[in-house]
A and B are shown apart, each in its own frame.
Chain A
Amino acid sequence: MTQVLLPRALDELWDFLEEDPNTAVYSGGTDLLVNLRGGRINPSRLACLERIEEIRGVRDAGAAVFIGAATTHTHLLENSLVSSEFPVLTKAIRVLASPAIRNMGTIGGNIVNASPAGDTLPPLYALDAEVEIVSRKEAKRMPVSDFIVGPGRVRLGANEIVKGVWIRKAPEFNVRHFEKVGLRKSQACAVASLAAALSLSEGGKIERARLAWGSVGPTVVRSAEVEEALLGRELEIQMLAEVARLVERAVSPIDDVRASAQYRRIVAGRLLLRLAESGCKN
């Protein structure tokens, strides 16, 4: 690696990217530096996105909210628009890595890194977030679930970057739940996680359900079968235990150093049970 570039505007960035196609971009760098040190990547140049104002911060766009890719996790945690509209995302970020990593890492980095254990991803899937991709010439949007195609693999062309994510406000969801299972209480990589957004009727019946699991497949898992099975039901343990069986079938975890596929599968289902506690509050 020969140079680190610190562009202050997108136009400056495009120039850099066109100058040398082997210029890698980063935003936060908490994963990039680990990979550089491990020799897993060797770009000729690096461009840091954090100084580009256009891709930083949270903007209220009426029916939706735009979060710039270079917005740090700490910033999101402190942002009242995010915590009021998307508490499930806030809950996930609260347990993401450690405070210093949250100061450094960004949501764009978490998305492009596309780790099945990325903590912001299950909430973004559950919120049907869209990724905005820009190049010098165009801007386009696609659902985060289309953008991420596998572990570490995303639909991002040459000289394109993620500008940010769009999340539609969804006040109808009155249960917003996130739980991460790790090997310790903090600074833990997810062994399994669940983000859930549910609408409960006054009578306690589930009217809408969006659920997304992390770390139990090559990408975050959503299951139409599971979501449909919840509709019209009340949040009680027996029902959730039945649906947990469907979850066990919907996920496709692997064994790794942190946990077995068997455990991940079981716990992915069992995480639903915690929703029984939400039946009476929220």
Chain B
Amino acid sequence: MGEVRRHKRHSEGALHIGASTPRADAYAKVTGAEKFAADYYSSDMVWAGVKRGAAPHGVIKGIFTDEACKAPGVIAVLTHRDIRGSNRQGVVRKDQPVLADKKVRHCGDAVALVLAEDRETLLRALDLIRLDLEALPGVFDVEEALKDGAPLVHEDNAGGNTLLEAHIQTGDGLTAFERCDEVIEGRFETPWQEHAYLETEVGWAQQQNDGKVVIVASTQTPFRDRAEVAEAIGLDLEQVRVIAPYTGGAFGGKDGITVQTLLALAALHSNGRPVKMWWEREESFIAGTKRHPTRLYYRLGAKGDGVLHALAARLYFDTGPYDHLGGVVMTLALEHAGGAYRIPHALLDAWCVYTNNPIGGAFRAFGVTQVTAAMEQMMDMLAARLDMDPLELRLKNALTRGEKTCVGVTLTGSTGLVECLERVERHPLRTERYAWKAAAGPFKRRGVGIAALMHAAGYGTVVPDYANAKIELTPEGKIRIYCGVVDMGQGNASANAQIAGSILNQNMDSMELVLPDTDRTLPSGSASASRCTYTFGNALIGAAEILKNRILQKAADLLMAPSTDDLTLAPGKVVNRATGAQIPLSRLGRLMAESERTAISHFRAPVAKDRLDVTDELRLHGLGHAVISYGAHLAAVEVDEITGAVEVVSYLSATDCGRALNPQIYEQQIHGGICQGLGFALFEDFRVEQGTVKSPDLATYIIPTAPDTPNMESLPVELHEPTGPFGLKGVGEIATNGPAPAVANALADACGIRMFRLPMTPERVLLALRGRETR
């Protein structure tokens, strides 16, 4: 628990920025040695599991646990009555019970917690628990939920089923449509998207003799978890320690509590034995969060020459029964609703709505995926109406540095949309598209579509987006980085080694990583919002520079050099360039006091300085970002007229990513984002009927396999971001936003059908081709 990650590499030489250095975590992961949260076992371990309500809405009349309690091998059966704390969790609004007390509000609500000697006993005991639920009418549609008389998900919520609503008007708002030559309308529906990480929600916990509960969990947010766990089950903050190993995928689905509170509660009742909880795939699908489904009404007006003039949009987000991060997701979507375009007049309305559906939550790109799917199709529809080239239309309206988005945020950082579009414009996939399309075989039609993207990073104006980096020269002469932000697979831990290694001129073998641990590393926010390397990297640069100065000063003293001017760090040592004298880092490490060889630095990310005419609540939920990545995507698709299947044959992306610290990791992020975006566009149809999940496993919820994924090209457009570490901007999310609109536009280009509902399954495409009503 809480080990230090050390690294084995093949090549020598100091780390430097801009090199595709193999990832620090790669060796342990390819050998199976890396210990994920799922891999914690011990011989005295107890299995914990959850009884779920399995009904979308109902009053809890009784929870009968006697039979389960008496079953041999059962250690404890707990309900809300066993919780001493608030029994509430949530990131913004704490509206989700750890164990349901009065009502169940969706099928995944946890009602009882069982501890058993082994998994078989656990499953048997869960079956023995009986629930008496009085069914309540449920509400499953966002617009129905807002009507008078709709069943209330939370009776005590002042806004009825409205969790958060927002209205932004800029310029003349709706009246500007009167001055438009062309007005396009569209109504779009996007589905839930399940994260489908390979490692489902899992953790391990134990109460120590001193009463402290140690939790090892697959999480993106150990510091926030600690506070939530403590409050929910009535412990002091110091009595909870959360350790976050590398996750087996997260993508936003582990941005917040999954197993953590339940595990801590179980650990209080296991007589000091360690407790393991690992959600089954079906459980993960039913109880875990998903990308919010949305219904989006768009109206876009332009002048006859293609200059955008007015935008009206109504955005409905289905958050399920709990806030989780629903309000924040909606707000980021609102900020991106008009894309990276100059639109002087806008009226944007948005609602985040409680329903009895599965819980909506964070998912890579956080609401922007949904609005981009709509807005970028609107742009193509407008281009078609104006008989303009879709790329020309975008170039004509693309924002540049210093201009304002349609919600009034001024783009102060590097702004590379135009450069991205130009890269795509010059690429053979675009310049040779007519010939490629004409070469389609029998029963095939081909099309090429594009999308323009922007994605803001960080938490926005009010909630501080900060990091505290700590770095240490160990007595063994190694450089140890205390990572405050979880590495869920995106490679930020490795990037940390590269940043510090380049400043201290050390190679990977000298770097050690301490992964996030509330007892050992410093609070640095969540692994989310394309912020990880940007925010923590900036803090780490500060800490590494401090340490570098301390090391050189100490070396100067020991080498009796007059100053540090002639001293330089080299792998494993400090060298006096003037005299040739050397001193190993291991000697310096032994001779420096701990406080001397440890450095800490804090960084807080900049935010938009515009004085937006919006509510404080909306600001609190994040409106107004300063650091923004841009991109342009192109999809070349082939449609099968017999089956309706859409194959993406080639995919191109150009991304304004700031400086790519590690091109390999940059490409990984772009490829992964595109693939998830293609899943969202074409395959992933999370099916829910009356609150019940109909696609509860990986056999019915279809994510892309290798043959479904096209060759992807990911061009970096490296505009220097002045506030970024070495000029970097985060690119963890942006690529996810491109595929849905790019593929939809390509499909329209191929066969003239416009898909207003995702995913674009063979069935929907074929029925659209036949001009029939889709289901």
Contact = CB atoms under 8 A, between A and B. Distances in A.
A281 B443 CA distance: 17
B694 A257 contact: yes
Interface string B753-775: 00000000111001100100001
Given A181-B643, A273-B443, A186 B705 contact: yes
Given A183-B702, A271-B642, A263 B763 contact: yes
Nearest to A259: B763
B700 A258 contact: yes
B442 interface: yes
A186 B642 contact: no
B176 interface: no
B165 interface: no
A276 B442 contact: yes
A47 B642 CA distance: 44
A137 interface: no
> What is the size category of the interface that chain B forms with chain A?
20 to 34
A263 B645 CA distance: 12
A183 B761 contact: yes
Nearest to A189: B699
Interface string B486-512: 000000000000000000000000000
B442 A266 contact: no
B708 interface: yes
B397 interface: no
A191 B683 CA distance: 14
Contacts of B443: 273-274, 277
A17 to B, nearest CB: 27
Interface in A266-282: 266-267, 270-271, 273-274, 276-277
B707 interface: yes
A263 B766 CA distance: 8
Contacts of A188: 702
B683 A183 contact: yes
B708 A184 contact: yes
A256 to B, nearest CB: 9
Nearest to A187: B705
A191 B706 CA distance: 20
B705 A184 contact: yes
A260 interface: yes
Interface string B707-736: 110000000000000000000000000000
Contact of A186 (B643, B644, B695, B708): B708
Contact of B442 (A184, A189, A277): A277
Contacts of B707: 184-186
Interface in A172-211: 181, 183-189, 191
B550 interface: no
Interface in B676-694: 683, 687, 694
B704 interface: yes
Contact of A184 (B643, B704, B763, B775): B704
A187 B695 CA distance: 16
Contacts of B763: 191, 259-260, 263
A257 B701 CA distance: 9
Contact of B642 (A183, A263, A273): A273
Given A188-B702, A189-B699, A274-B642, A181 B687 contact: no
Interface string B641-662: 0111101000000000000000
A184 B683 contact: yes
A259 B775 CA distance: 10
A187 B708 CA distance: 10
Contacts of A181: 643, 645, 762
Contacts of B644: 263, 267
A262 interface: yes
B350 to A, nearest CB: 31
A267 B702 CA distance: 20
B88 to A, nearest CB: 34
Interface string B440-456: 00110000000000000
Interface string A158-184: 000000000000000000000001011
A151 to B, nearest CB: 16
Nearest to B707: A185
B676 to A, nearest CB: 14
B761 A257 contact: no
Contacts of A260: 763, 775
Most buried by B among A183, A185, A189, A258: A183
Interface string B593-632: 0000000000000000000000000000000000000000
B640 to A, nearest CB: 9
A263 B705 contact: no
A94 to B, nearest CB: 12
Nearest to B764: A263
Contacts of A274: 443, 642
A206 B708 CA distance: 35
Contacts of A277: 442-443
Contact of B770 (A191, A259, A266, A273): A266
A259 B702 CA distance: 13
A188 B647 CA distance: 15
A274 B441 CA distance: 12
B702 A184 contact: yes
A267 B764 CA distance: 12
A272 to B, nearest CB: 9
A257 B708 CA distance: 20
Contacts of B694: 257
Nearest to A264: B763
Given A186-B705, A257-B694, 8 more contacts: A184-B704, A184-B705, A186-B707, A266-B767, A271-B642, A271-B643, A273-B642, A274-B642
In order of increasing CB-CB distance, the 3 nearest A-B pairs are A263-B763, A185-B707, A183-B702
Interface of A: 181, 183-189, 191, 257-260, 262-263, 266-267, 270-271, 273-274, 276-277
Interface of B: 442-443, 642-645, 647, 683, 687, 694-695, 699-700, 702, 704-708, 761-763, 766-767, 770, 775
